[in-house]
Amino acid sequence: MFSVEGTDPTYEALRRPPDDHSVECRAIFMRLWEEVAPFLDDDLAKRARTDLHSAFWEMHVAAGLIEAGATLVPRERRTPRKSGPDLLCQIPYAWIEVVATKPGSGRDAVPESPEGVAYSVPDDQILLSTAHHGKVSKFA
């Protein structure tokens, strides 16, 4: 997973951990990867190099479904194998597209949150950002 240099700062911090906390985070990440890799896109490790946040979210959702007792279908047994939503759950039967929201841009951008201060979550901007940046897949 971390053998190739990437542009995502968090990916790079896990690739070359600067401290004990980062070493521990990398170990957790790798255990999660080993558990869920068969159910995710073949290119997830490559995409993690530029967008670790989204890759981790896909892994986290898959692990959560498994922990909740869902039966996920490995990518190699899916039809279609390469396209369609991120996950196929056999029991209960459901296709799942995992989307990690990003701040967005323009008037719908999610405002930067102040550090160390309580604030209201900007639900409307988060929903709009997801709608604008989420991908829609067609599958059979």
For 13-39, the pLDDT digits (tens) are: 999 999 999 999 999 999 999 999 999
Same domain membership, residue 63 and residue 2: yes
At 131, is the secondary structure helix, strand, or coil? helix
Same domain membership, residue 63 and residue 109: no
Same domain membership, residue 106 and residue 60: no
Same domain membership, residue 1 and residue 64: yes
Tell me if the pTM is above 0.85. no
Query: Is the per-residue pLDDT at 58 higher than 80?
Result: yes
Decide if 127 is inside a domain: yes
Q: Give the mean model confidence (pLDDT) for residues 103-108.
A: 72
Decide if 90 is inside a domain: no
Decide if 31 is inside a domain: yes
Instruction: Give the number of domains in the chain.
Output: 2
Q: Give the mean model confidence (pLDDT) for residues 29-53.
A: 92
Decide if 10 is inside a domain: yes
Q: Which amino acid is at 102?
A: K
127 falls in which pLDDT band (50, 70, 90)? low
Decide if 16 is inside a domain: yes
- The C-alpha angle with vertex 38 and arms to 138 and 87, in degrees rounded to 5, equals 30
Q: Which domain holds residue 124?
A: 101-140
**Under 8 Å between Cβ of 69 and 63:** no
Share of the chain above pLDDT 90, in %: 47
Same domain membership, residue 58 and residue 2: yes
Decide if 84 is inside a domain: no
82 falls in which pLDDT band (50, 70, 90)? confident
| Residue 61, number of CB atoms within 10 A of its CB | 19
Decide if 128 is inside a domain: yes
Phi, psi for residue 36 in degrees, rounded to 5: -110, -10
Same domain membership, residue 47 and residue 7: yes
Same domain membership, residue 115 and residue 64: no
Rounded CA separation 10/49 (Å): 9
- Residue 136 has a pLDDT of 41
Rounded CA separation 17/23 (Å): 5
Same domain membership, residue 119 and residue 66: no
Sequence-ordered strand ranges (E) for the chain:
71-72, 87-91, 94-96
Decide if 88 is inside a domain: no
- Residue 140 has a pLDDT of 37
